[in-house]
Amino acid sequence: MSDAPHATPLADQAAYAEAVAAAVAAAAAYYTDGSSPLDDDAYDRLVRGIEAYEAAHPQQVLPGTPTGKVAGGAVVGDVPHTVPMLSLDNVFSAADLVSWAAGLERRLGHPVARWSVEPKLDGLAVSARYRAGRLTQLVTRGDGVAGEDVSHAIGTVLGLPATLTEPVTVEIRGEVLMTATQFEAANAARTAHDGVPFANARSAAAGTLRARERAYKCEMTFFGYGALPFPPDDDSELAGRLRVLAHSELMDLVAALGVATTAATPVAGTTATTLDEIQARIGEIAALRAELPFGIDGIVVKADLAADQERAGFSSRAPRWATAYKLPATEKITKLLAVEWNVGRTGVIAPRAVLEPVRLDGSLVTYATLHNPADITRRGLMLGDSVTVYKAGDVIPRIEAPVVHLRTGDEQPIAFPELCPRCNGEIDTSQERWRCVRGRACHAVASISYAVGRDQLDIEGLGGTRIVQLVEAGLIADFADLFTLTRDQILGLDRMADISTDNLLAAIAKAKEKPLNKVFCALGVRGTGRSMSRRIARHFGTMEAIRAADVAGVQAVEGIGPEKAAVMVEELAELAPLVEKLVVAGVNMTEPGVTPPDETSPAETSALPLLGMSVVVTGSMAARWPSCPEIR
């Protein structure tokens, strides 16, 4: 959970005026096509700095200030909203939330009986107008009073049905966004046509929603967060219900009408009666954030009951009965300073981005993952680019895309290596992931270190320094050589005494007895890890059966597709000498409790009910979250 962000300090009136102009420009870009020059955290800091300056100098407040205005006062539209479409105020910490809740209860004159807690989706707020159950118009938030008509996008937004389950006239409000899969597809389409990827999922959704003429279509997703009578003075039975239903009940109604909500996702809206319950749910949603197929940037806390909402009322830009608990930023804009090329344990040559240091989700980030040269080319990255950086799984920093509109003309192409950056040998560029032609031999220390790790052979006492000694002394070239080491050879190493030598030899001897899945994992076949190695070992039973399998045979293992199967067969052929050395050394090559396929008895084979049959399965598969189009 985040602490309140520091405000950008503004020393004088000139700095204040400059900050106002920067904030308004950033808001205009953010709420139109999503291409803001400031990330969320920087924008929040700037606005808080403006608020602090205005509080201290009320006589100097500029009329164009973004404070107290929907969308920072930078966006206009030409379609009036039936009811103002406002923003939300923010809190940044548990203490802020307690203070806000206390202020609301003072305004109400009584404790809030029930709270609503739901995710704050990182998309664009839109109003969907239905007449007699049919979707007739889509309007963006705009400045809250009027928005832009984007009805041309009808039919491209999943979760927003063309026809409701009942022929009612109603206005549904919600968020349009792109899921991870939709963003990937949109970027592929845009790169193919325009050569430039979207900066992030939000800008992709914003640009796509507003684009009227494009040679390609991009799919988006809608999640509803509210409903109101349409028109406002409607006196129908449904309109009456909409005015008195609690928010949680309103969301049930929206879902019943066939509109997607977050109800079927892990971050479904819930209710709470105490601040402790609210904080617990905030923690749960924050913990799930990295696993979601769509972006969230906070948690919305509302007074659930309609009577409390009506009594609390609204400010000029936001309801007083709701606030957004902002989560730490998972995406920032920074500079790409350089690209380093490193060689991994299998000889793969991997690029790494060197960044202008930026604080992201509580840590200082100076490096980010780049997948391969083809990925760099697809993303159109250049040295000196402003780039959006995010944390994959909240752990590994990665570059999303260049922020093209911030280019100055001084950016330079990224140079790809012509020789292996480790050994100066030739590079195999036949696949997207380039590789030194020497393979594992190029970086033997890394390959051996991986093989003896805890999840593989687990040879205690064999750390990186000792492996370097053994390799540099010419005693080992791969991890199979460990099993032929003698006591005298190890004693000859620096800082190896009798006891430590005997302990290391015992650990090596114990590693010979590891099950096949551990031995196979130690080989470090590309595309396989601990869990995949277990599946492979349990499927085949012996190393001999694994090595004898062709591409089709390997594909029979759960989770292995044709591309990965082909790579695995190729690598096993390449690793044949290493495997032979392991066999000669007496390393176990079987998986306990597994009968190899070719050893199944005739009686067992004849009893198999589908033997010799071809079975075709038709129909559709239900998604894990039925209302989430991401996985349909």
CATH classification of the domain holding 492? 1.10.150.20
Whether residue 576 is found in the same domain as residue 493: no
Query: Within a domain: residue 629?
Result: no
Same domain, yes or no: 101 and 242:
yes
Residues 454, 511: Cα–Cα separation, whole Å = 11
How many domains are there within the chain? 5
Do residues 33 and 203 touch, judged by C-beta distance below 8 A? yes
Q: State residue 503's pLDDT score.
A: 92
Is the domain of 192 the same as that of 219?
A: yes
Q: Looking at 435, 459, 493, which one is the last position of a domain?
A: 435
Provide the residue type at 587 as one letter: V
In a domain, 624, yes or no: no
309: its two tokens: 């909402």
Q: Tell whether 274 and 351 lie within a shared domain.
A: no
CB 322 within 8 A of CB 88: yes
Q: Is residue 62 part of a domain?
A: yes
Q: Are 198 and 190 in contact (CB under 8 A)?
A: yes
Residue 252: its pLDDT value, please?
96
* Nearest-angstrom CA–CA distance, 79 and 167: 24
Q: Would 201 be classed as within a structural domain?
A: yes
Q: At what angle do helices 444-451 and 516-523 cross, to 10 degrees?
A: 160
Indicate which residues carry an active-site annotation.
120
Q: Which of 409, 435, 461 is the last residue of a domain?
A: 435
**Residue 165 within a domain:** yes
Structure token pair of residue 102: 């206390």
Contact 174, 226 (CB under 8 A): yes
- Give residue 624's pLDDT: 40
Q: What are phi and psi of 611, to 5 degrees?
A: -55, 125
Give the distance, in angstroms, between the CA of residue 593 and the centroid of all CA atoms in the same chain.
Answer: 39
233 and 305 in a common domain: yes
- Do 56 and 85 lie in one domain? The reply is no
Where in the sequence is the domain holding 554, given as residue range(s)?
516-599
Same domain (yes/no): 140, 263: yes
Q: Give which of 348, 526, 345, 349 is closest to 444, Cα–Cα.
A: 345
CATH number of the domain enclosing 138: 3.30.470.30
pLDDT value of position 576: 92
pLDDT for the residue numbered 632: 31
8 domain-assigned = no
**pLDDT of res. 335:** 94
SS3 of 588, please? Answer: coil
On whether residue 343 sits in a domain, the answer given is yes
Q: Is there a single domain that holds both residue 522 and residue 491? A: no
Looking at residue 258, what is its pLDDT?
96
The verdict on 213 and 83 lying in the same domain is yes
Amino acid 291: pLDDT: 84
Q: How is 328-371 classified by DSSP, letter by letter?
A: PPSEEEEEEEEEEEEE-TTSBEEEEEEEEEEEETTEEEEEEE--
Asked if 109 and 234 sit in the same domain, the reply is yes
Q: Is residue 621 part of a domain?
A: no
Q: What CA–CA distance (Å, rounded) separates 135 from 125?
A: 16
**CB 410 within 8 Å of CB 423:** no
Are residues 585 and 491 located together in one domain of the fold?
no
C-alpha 225/C-alpha 86 separation (Å) is 13
Residues of the chain with pLDDT under 50: 1-4, 394, 600-607, 612, 621-632
Q: Are residues 423 and 301 in the same domain?
A: no
Final residue of a structural domain among 58, 73, 88: 73
User: Could you tell me which residues are beta bridge partners of residue 383?
Assistant: 412
> Is the C-alpha dihedral spanning 434, 440, 444, 449 positive or negative?
positive
